[in-house]
Each structure stands twice: as C-alpha cells, then as structure tokens.
Structure 1
Amino acid sequence: MRPGMNPQKLMLQMQRMQQQMEAAQAELAETEVTGTAGGGLVTVTATASGEFRGVKIDPSAVDPEDVETLEDLVLAAIHNAAAAGKELSDAKLGPLTSGLGGLGLPGF
C-alpha cells in the first residue's frame, strides 16, 4: 500500500469493485451470444460466460458422404460463439479489473 493511503477507503473501494464484478459476472452468465459458420448453416448459442446452450444445424449442411465438413462447421461455430463471449466479457470486466492497478496493489 502506498504511504498516506487510507485503509478504510481502500477497503470500501475493494468492496464496491467486488460488488460490480459480481453483478457483471451474473449479467454475463445470463447474456446469450451466438456463433455461426457456413453462412448460417450451423449456429451455436452460449452464454457470454462460456456455457454452451444449443446447436442448430440446417438440414442442407448434413451430407452423409461428408461428415468432416459438418464437424468443421460445428467447431467453427463454437469458436465463433466463444470469441463473441470473450469479447463481451472483456468489455464488461475489463474496466473493473483494470481499476485494480490504480489501487496500488502489487501484481495488478
């Protein structure tokens, strides 16, 4: 802690930040994101916190002779949804976690 810093004020700041962090995490757990691949042939739904909730596959994407392409599309849609969730998470949590450095806490 830096010299002259008020420990009570620091504790209050930390409590506020913790409440804001918890609220942001709860919001991310409820916010849905989607990932698509193949021009919408495969759509994956997940929460912004990373819980996958569903997969939709357009019947035209199903070719018994080419299962590998469908597998690739599903994987690409999962990655797309995960990236959308990370982007939203970074936008919500980034300002909160970057504030830790301003408190003079080592390692932040």
Structure 2
Amino acid sequence: MGYQNELHEFLRQAQEITVRVQEASAGMADREVNGTCEGGSVRVAMTSSGDVRSVRIEPRAVNLDNLRRLETLVAEAMQDALNNVRGVAQQVMQPLTDDLNRLIADDPQ
C-alpha cells in the first residue's frame, strides 16, 4: 500500500508542476522584451514568442553613406532582444525545472 501512496503523491506533484509550466508559458506568450544597441539608438521590441512588435531607429544611427552599419545595428538589437527573451524564459522556467528535478530525484525540500 505504501508504494501506491508514493506513486499517487508523485503523480499529484507532477501534475501540479505541469499546470504551473502551462500557466508560466501562457503568461509569457505576450510578454514584451526589448533589445538595444549603440546606446539605445536602435531598439527592437518583440514578444517572448519571438514576434517583432517594433523597430525604432534614431536619426543619429543613420548614415546614408554607410547603410551596412545600420543593417548591422538592427541585427545587433534583434539579437539582444532574442537574448533577453531567452533570459526571461530561463528566469520564469528555472524554478519549475528545479522542482521537477527534485521530484524526479526524490529529494524533497
């Protein structure tokens, strides 16, 4: 009978973590993050799901004689935004991952 109780408790905790992961994922779906470069002269806003919402370029970042530099700045700002998306996702999901690892390892805290 003890084994069944342990299994039931394990499944209950796993279900609880699953619900928390789903809630965290849903909460992140429309969360907006920003990426910048060149002291904020190029800014990209995107959702945590990777949809670009806006790109803002200040006039000081534009040099018509060197558009390749502007392309590079936009790419850098987009990469910064993507890195920030990953950081937010890790920040939100890490506690859930830790809980799941503890559950699997049977190391209650």
Structure 1 length as normaliser, TM-score? 0.84
Q: Which string of whole-angstrom CA distances, capped at 9 and with x for unpartnered residues, describes residues 22-45 of structure 1? A: 111111112111111111111000
**Structure 2 stretches lacking a partner, 5+ long:** none
Q: Number of paired residues? A: 103
Q: Structure 2 CA distance, aligned partners of 1:32 and 1:45?
A: 7
- Superposed, 1:60-71 pairs within 5 Å as 60-71=60-71
Shift of 1:49: 3.3
User: Which residue number corresponds to residue 10 of structure 1?
Assistant: 10
SS in 2 for 1:6: helix
Q: Structure 2 CA distance, aligned partners of 1:38 and 1:79?
A: 13
The answer to whether 1:55 aligns with 2:64 is no
User: Which residue number corresponds to residue 72 of structure 1?
Assistant: 72
- Superposed, 1:25-104 pairs within 5 Å as 25-104=25-104
Q: Structure 2 CA distance, aligned partners of 1:40 and 1:100?
A: 39
Shift of 1:101: 1.6
SS in 2 for 1:56: strand
Shift of 1:104: 2.3
Query: Which protein has the bigger helix share?
Result: 2
RMSD between superposed Cα atoms in Å: 1.9
Q: Structure 1 CA distance, aligned partners of 2:8 and 2:68?
A: 60
Q: Tell me which amino acid in the other structure corresponds to 2:63.
A: D
